[in-house]
Amino acid sequence: MIKLNINQKVHQIDADPEMPLLWAIRDLVGLTGTKFGCGVAQCGACVVHLNGEAVRSCVTKLKRAQGQQITTIEGLSENNDHPLQIAWNEVSVPQCGYCHSGQIMSAAVLLIEKPNPTDEDIDNAMAGNICRCGTYPRIRKAIHMAAEMQKKGGV
Amino acid sequence: MQEKIKEKHNGLRTLVVISTLSVLVISMAFGIGGNKISNPETQVIPIVKKDSIASVKAFRQVYRVLMSPRCMNCHPSGDIPLQGDDSHIHEMFPKRGHEGKGILSMKCTNCHQPENTKGLHAPPGNANWHLPPADMKMVFEGKTASQLAKQLMDPKQNGNKNMKQLLEHADDGLVKWGWEPGEGRTLPPLTHSEFKKQWQLWLNTGAYAPKD
Amino acid sequence: MSSNEVSRRNFLRVAGLAGTALCLGFYFPSSAEEATIINTNGAADADIEMNPWIYIHTNGKVTLFNHRAEMGQGSYQSVPQIIAEELEVDLKDIIVASAQGNKKYGNQVTGGSSTIRSGYKNLLKLSATARVMLITVAATKWGVPAGDCYAESGHVIHKITNKKFHYGELVEEAAKLPAPKDVVLKKTSEYKLIRKPLKRLDTPMKTNGTAIFGLDKKLPGMLYAAVERNPRLRGTVKSFDDSAALKVPGVKRVFKVKMLVFKTYREGVAVVATSTWAALQGKKALKVEWDDTGFEHISTPVIYQRQQELLKSSEGLFLSKQGNPNETLGKSKDTLDVVYQTPYQSHSPMEPVNCVAHYQDDKLEIWGPIQAPDWVQDYISTEMKLPREKVIVNMTFLGGGFGRKAFMDYPHEASVISKEMGTPIQVIWTREDDATQGPYRPGISYRCQGAVTNGEITALKFRMCGQNNDHWRNGAKSNQANRSTSEGFLKPYYESIKDVSFAEVQFETPIPTMWWRSVYASTNGFAYESFLDELAVQAGKDPLDLRRQHLKDERSQKLIDKMEEVSGWKNRKKNEGYGVAITECFASTVGQIVKVSKDQNGKLKIDQVWAVMDCGWYVNPDIIKAQVEGSIVMALGAATIHEITFKDGLVEQRNFYDYKMPRITDIPPIEVHIMENTADAGGVGEPGLPAFTPALTNAIFDLTGTRIRKLPFDLKNI
């Protein structure tokens, strides 16, 4: 049995330690907000936080993740009210929406480490996340907006 | 190996004192994590025989390895690593960061696992995967053999490595990854043992830099 | 109640509202355009030809059955926005459920940028009809003239006394009334919601992981399948060794599958397992021997060599012809004769193709990211030999589609595997499957000829040589030109240029092709609008002036005015390249201007993109802007990065490492403007795409004198 601590909840799962975290989260734990896009850490649709870092769960094996603190999009906030989630809604960022769990999880690490990101910081943090619908201009806008919200302490 | 060389050049042993006056614990590819860096202290390093011709010849071989994609790709001239046998700029532009471990949501280990991920073009990995840190970039890309040899021996540029540490570097885990790079990646032009031999030969014969 | 799979009957049963809700729908006597509005309560319940479109419940909430897919284009927002306007309810009181595939909904194919333009008039009328019925009931209850009552925010209000009824209090009575005919619709100036940049209703569920895409669909007892398919579409399975695959923990069974891809069968070996990971591991462990005989194994250079040979010798089949371009070209001293070339492209939606199917007791239910549920129902019922009503097709959210998910191969494959296993099955395609199996946008060569006499364009002759999607789809007649040969080209040009012809020089390969966002306009636009730029240079005219001169209709003139105004076209500076292109598809016209320059290192950069969209009547300007922004990003990738190539019949690209996507670092500033008019609504999801590439390459010519006639080209090497 492998112990996974996901969103502050412990899950005991019976799985091959070589299984990527992505499939354990989706198929065995049943949290489907984390997406499969490429399987080789190219697109970022599968980003979750592992001890606070934006890891690509499609290449992160259970043996690395077990016993660690894992946060998925479902656990980013209780009421969909993380500044990024609010900003994403304000700016109507998503189109198809499939990549945005990963986009938001990447941006969340950015905002912790750079609370007032410049455009260059956003490039540096977000270039690992592909959006086929091309919502990039709005992702940028929403990250700036979320940073503002954070600064004002309103959320 | 050193012992053998020493014996071979018995009688011509020279003692060289390399003083490491102030050692900033700076990591090279071999510096982080479990790899020990000796305490700052004066060390006595045996040099077998100063032999500029043999040394330069050995470095020519070493240089071929260092400039191969498996080594050079993580010793880029800029702050973004290179990728692939054609050493193109790493897709998605991950930045070096102060410690050489990436930045923000683009830390190296967000994708690079403790081991190679299986499959063509899947991220290669090692427990110690990183670039040289920002204050000791140890650039290979674009360097001539002469420049690279001097840089490797310059304590200001090599993280204050002493001879012993330099000699040991050939067996560093991340260096050795170059010979187990995973599917689809060309190996360096020498075998690891041949590389190690040439590397130590270069150092032990005086670490001469070739004239370009 | 955001569930995508609420069938009408289930919905009524669960909600306990049968007979009490006001249910309005359409009856389509022949075509979707001519819908009649029906009160489905009054008619025979569940009549096959009747479809409930909106339910107004006794609690005042409205359930809307969205008959189209939500694949990013915004139907989840724009359809309720239309309904809320004429029904006078708050958007928050509308619950959107996805309709199932059924002919009674009319055409459900989410393609051709048609969600709004094909349905908005019906939706407006439907909502207004419901409003009138509710007002009628209230007025009757109060004993006042209906004219003294109005509706607002889910209530009917008596103007004089300010008495109010909540809609919920009126629906039971309203459900007994026949639907009135000829209700009066609001004028554009009276709109409170339509034309406002309202936030999308589907955003919250796309920011916290609750939106259910195809891949997220789970059923009790569901098993997972991955399929190793013959990498050459028309090949078959000769034999396979499953011994290693069966040793993978979790793998249950391995068997051969055969799925129809339009008129051709594709074969593969399915691995069914208890988790996606096990299925994928099992797939990797398979050893399959393919039979690849009986069809050509084509390579990319051969494709273009053949196309261009054909274009030298063949006149092709004319789609349209006026005057005599050959004669004018023959007489003119000043002519151009060039070839443009565009690559095959993959759709590469972020959500790889996948589908859930559950076959039991001669009944089949399907869930998936499906662009055309009505087609899937038809197709699967034929292939699986089931009556249509035994095939239930549910649309989930689509993680992108762009045309790929209007193909029926993957639901068919899931159905076949579920039938074999007798359990619910989810088939997942890997990114590599998606990249290597197609279908693709066809690669096309264009021969463009033109004549300039006394500084004026006097003849245009266009020939297109590339695969015709229709040949796959419905076996279009081989003696008919591709109906999309001139797609993208603006009709007013026909008025100002006497001799014009468009012809298709037919060309086929064994490669599967399919619509790709904006379809043939995506490549035609590049060839035709670049060529007009070449002729403008030849004629010594400013490229925007040339368009102004030829596109004489009022809408085009206004569009050009706007383009000129927003881009500062007339004040452009030295060392800046400006390029213009205007294209039309799916009833909307988009003009784009791209500005480029070189940075200190001599590298070309795109400084700015201005896009002006004329889509006539519209719903949500913010969604339109988002669609145009996204179209431009997609076009940027298509123009400068993307190319699917074939070697010996095998696709050479596999994943995002060799079919690279534009990233956030690659995106120029994009400014989108929308023309205000009340012409009939045009499409929004696709028309923003075709003009970008020619505007970019025309700008590059303006700056550097380099004319780009072959895609993709590398921006770094200009």
Residue C15 dihedral angles phi and psi, to the nearest 5°? -80, -15
Contact A88 C207 (CB under 8 A): yes
Report whether pLDDT(C409) > 60: yes
Instruction: Give the model's pLDDT for residue C260.
Output: 83
Kindly state whether residues A96 and A36 are assigned to the same domain: no
Which is nearest to C637 in space by CA: C516, C533, C530? Answer: C516
* Four-residue CA torsion sign, B52, B55, B59, B61: positive
pLDDT confidence of C265, banded at 50, 70, 90?
confident
Measured distance CA(B148)–CA(B150) in Å, rounded: 5
- Cβ within 8 Å of C, A 25-84: 26-28, 30-40, 42-43, 45, 72-74, 76-77, 80, 84
Half-sphere CA count of A94, side-chain side, radius 13 A: 34
Kindly state whether residues A119 and A58 are assigned to the same domain: no
Q: State the virtual CA torsion across C421, C425, C431, C436 in degrees, nearest 10.
A: 40
Structural domain harbouring A112: 83-152
Angstrom distances, CA of residue A91 to CA of A33, A102, A129, C350, C538: 20, 17, 18, 21, 45
Measured distance CA(C687)–CA(C584) in Å, rounded: 7
Helix (H) or strand (E) holding A103: helix A100-113
A126 touches chain B (CB under 8 A): yes
AA letter at C223: L
Contact A92 C631 (CB under 8 A): no
Kindly state whether residues A71 and A88 are assigned to the same domain: no
Instruction: Give the model's pLDDT for residue B18.
Output: 36
**What ipTM, to 2 d.p.?**
0.98
Cβ-contact C322, C498 below 8 angstroms:
yes
Cβ-contact C683, C521 below 8 angstroms:
no
Looking at the domain assignment, is residue B155 inside a domain? yes
A150 touches chain C (CB under 8 A): no
B14 vs C100, more confident: C100
Report whether pLDDT(B34) > 70: no
Q: Chain B contacts of C281, Cβ < 8 Å?
A: none
Report whether pLDDT(C270) > 50: yes
Q: How far is B96 from chain A (nearest CA, A)?
A: 10
Contact A59 B107 (CB under 8 A): no
Contact A109 B105 (CB under 8 A): yes
Q: Chain C contacts of B93, Cβ < 8 Å?
A: 665
pLDDT confidence of C6, banded at 50, 70, 90?
very low
Number of domains into which chain B is organized: 1
Cβ-contact B176, B168 below 8 angstroms:
no
- Comparing alpha-carbon positions, the chain B residue that sits nearest to A60 is B113
Looking at the domain assignment, is residue B190 inside a domain? yes
- Comparing alpha-carbon positions, the chain A residue that sits nearest to C626 is A135
| Exposed e or buried b per residue across B44-53, where buried means at least 16 C-beta atoms within 10 angstroms of its C-beta | ebbbbbbbee
Within its chain, how far is the Cα of C19 from the centroid?
A: 37
Helix (H) or strand (E) holding A141: helix A136-152
Cβ-contact C292, C267 below 8 angstroms:
no
Looking at the domain assignment, is residue B95 inside a domain? yes
In sequence order, what DSSP letters do the residues of B30-98 get, joined into one string? TTSTT-----S--EEEEE----HHHHHHHHHHHHHHHTSHHHHTTS-SSSS-EETTTTEEPTT-----T
Cβ-contact A44, A128 below 8 angstroms:
yes
Kindly state whether residues A39 and A69 are assigned to the same domain: yes
Report whether pLDDT(C18) > 70: no
Which is nearest to C378 in space by CA: C260, C472, C468, C475? Answer: C260
- Average pLDDT rounded to a whole number, residues C447-463: 96
Cβ-contact C45, C24 below 8 angstroms:
no
| C210-261 per-position pLDDT tens digit | 999 999 999 999 999 999 999 998 899 999 999 999 999 999 999 999 988 8
Contact A53 B121 (CB under 8 A): no
| Token pair for C234 | 């028309």
Measured distance CA(A148)–CA(A130) in Å, rounded: 24
Q: How far is B155 from chain C (nearest CA, A)?
A: 34
The count of residues in chain C is 718
Kindly state whether residues A90 and A63 are assigned to the same domain: no
pLDDT confidence of A155, banded at 50, 70, 90?
low
Q: What residues have CB less than 8 Å from B90, skipping those under 6 apart?
A: B73, B80, B81, B82, B83
Kindly state whether residues A90 and A59 are assigned to the same domain: no
Which is nearest to C446 in space by CA: C508, C524, C518? Answer: C524
| C657-705 per-position pLDDT tens digit | 999 999 999 999 999 999 999 899 999 999 999 999 999 999 999 999 9
User: Which residues of chain B have a Cβ shorter than 8 Å from any chain A Cβ?
Assistant: 91-95, 103-107, 109-111, 113-114, 117, 119, 121-123
Kindly state whether residues A112 and A136 are assigned to the same domain: yes
pLDDT confidence of C102, banded at 50, 70, 90?
confident
- What share of chain C in percent tops pLDDT 70? 94
Which is nearest to C222 in space by CA: C414, C413, C353, C431? Answer: C414
Helix (H) or strand (E) holding C130: helix C120-142
Residue B24 dihedral angles phi and psi, to the nearest 5°? -80, 135
Measured distance CA(A94)–CA(C412) in Å, rounded: 30
Please name the member of C211, C634, C656 whose beta carbon is closest to the beta carbon of A97: C211
Q: What residues have CB less than 8 Å from C142, skipping those under 6 apart?
A: C149, C158, C161, C163
Number of domains into which chain A is organized: 2
Structural domain harbouring B126: 25-39+50-204
Measured distance CA(C127)–CA(A94) in Å, rounded: 28
Furthest CA-CA distance within chain B: 57
Please name the member of C275, C280, C350 whose beta carbon is closest to the beta carbon of A96: C350
Q: Establish whether the linkage from the previous residue to C145 is cis, with ω within 30° of 0.
A: no
Q: How far is C502 from chain A (nearest CA, A)?
A: 32
The domain that contains A121 carries what CATH number? 1.10.150.120
Instruction: Classify C503 as helix, strand or coil.
Output: strand
Instruction: Classify A76 as helix, strand or coil.
Output: coil
Q: What does the domain layout of chain C look like in residue ranges?
A: 8-207, 216-294+353-428, 314-344+441-717
Q: What residues have CB less than 8 Å from C217, skipping those under 6 apart?
A: C356, C367, C368, C396, C426
Q: Chain C contacts of B78, Cβ < 8 Å?
A: none
Q: State the virtual CA torsion across C225, C226, C228, C234 in degrees, nearest 10.
A: 70
A13 touches chain B (CB under 8 A): no
Contact B93 C660 (CB under 8 A): no
pLDDT confidence of A154, banded at 50, 70, 90?
low
Instruction: Give the model's pLDDT for residue C27.
Output: 66
Query: What count of CB pairs under 8 Å joins B to C?
Result: 9
Interface probe, candidates C216, C348, C350, C672, chain A, greatest A C-beta count within 10 A: C350
Q: Which chains touch B (3 or more CB pairs under 8 A)?
A: A, C
pLDDT confidence of C206, banded at 50, 70, 90?
very high
- What share of chain C in percent tops pLDDT 90? 81
Residue C344 dihedral angles phi and psi, to the nearest 5°? -65, 150
| C457-507 per-position pLDDT tens digit | 999 999 999 999 987 666 677 788 999 999 999 999 999 999 999 999 999
Interface probe, candidates A21, A42, A89, A95, chain C, greatest C C-beta count within 10 A: A95
Residue B94 dihedral angles phi and psi, to the nearest 5°? -65, 135
| A70-129 per-position pLDDT tens digit | 999 999 999 999 999 999 999 999 999 999 999 999 999 999 999 999 999 999 999 999
Report whether pLDDT(C616) > 70: yes
Contact C658 B120 (CB under 8 A): no
Report whether pLDDT(B42) > 70: no
Contact B107 A54 (CB under 8 A): yes
pLDDT confidence of C29, banded at 50, 70, 90?
low
Ranges B196-205, C109-118, C689-698: which has the least confidence: C109-118
Averaged pLDDT score across all residues of chain C: 92
Which is nearest to A106 in space by CA: C663, B104, B99? Answer: B104
Report whether pLDDT(B16) > 70: no
Please name the member of C654, C655, C663 whose beta carbon is closest to the beta carbon of B92: C663
Instruction: Give the model's pLDDT for residue C51.
Output: 58
Helices (H) and strands (E) in chain A, counts: 6, 5
Cβ-contact C249, C256 below 8 angstroms:
no
Report whether pLDDT(C113) > 90: no
Ranges C12-16, C341-345, C567-571: which has the least confidence: C12-16
AA letter at B32: I
Measured distance CA(C556)–CA(C588) in Å, rounded: 11
- Comparing alpha-carbon positions, the chain B residue that sits nearest to C665 is B92
CATH 3.30.365.10 assigned to domain C216-294+353-428? The reply is yes
Looking at the domain assignment, is residue B129 inside a domain? yes
Q: Which class for B147: exposed (0-12), middle (13-18), buried (19 or more C-beta within 10 A)?
A: middle
Q: What residues have CB less than 8 Å from C714, skipping those under 6 apart?
A: C640
Q: Chain B contacts of C655, Cβ < 8 Å?
A: 121
DSSP C400: -
Looking at the domain assignment, is residue B2 inside a domain? no
Measured distance CA(C268)–CA(C229) in Å, rounded: 4
Cβ-contact C663, A127 below 8 angstroms:
yes
B92 touches chain C (CB under 8 A): yes
* Four-residue CA torsion sign, C41, C45, C48, C52: positive
**1.10.10.10, 3.40.718.10, 3.30.365.10, 1.20.1440.230: CATH of C8-207:** 3.30.365.10
Which is nearest to C315 in space by CA: C478, C459, C502? Answer: C502
| C619-641 per-position pLDDT tens digit | 999 999 999 999 999 999 999 99
| C536-585 per-position pLDDT tens digit | 999 999 999 999 999 999 999 999 999 999 999 999 998 999 999 999 99
Please name the member of B91, B93, B120 whose beta carbon is closest to the beta carbon of C660: B91
B121 touches chain C (CB under 8 A): yes
Measured distance CA(A121)–CA(A123) in Å, rounded: 5
Kindly state whether residues A94 and A62 are assigned to the same domain: no
| A27-80 per-position pLDDT tens digit | 999 999 999 999 999 999 999 999 999 999 999 999 999 999 999 999 999 999
**3.40.50.300, 3.20.20.150, 2.60.120.20, 3.30.365.10: CATH of C314-344+441-717:** 3.30.365.10
Report whether pLDDT(C269) > 60: yes
The domain that contains A44 carries what CATH number? 3.10.20.30
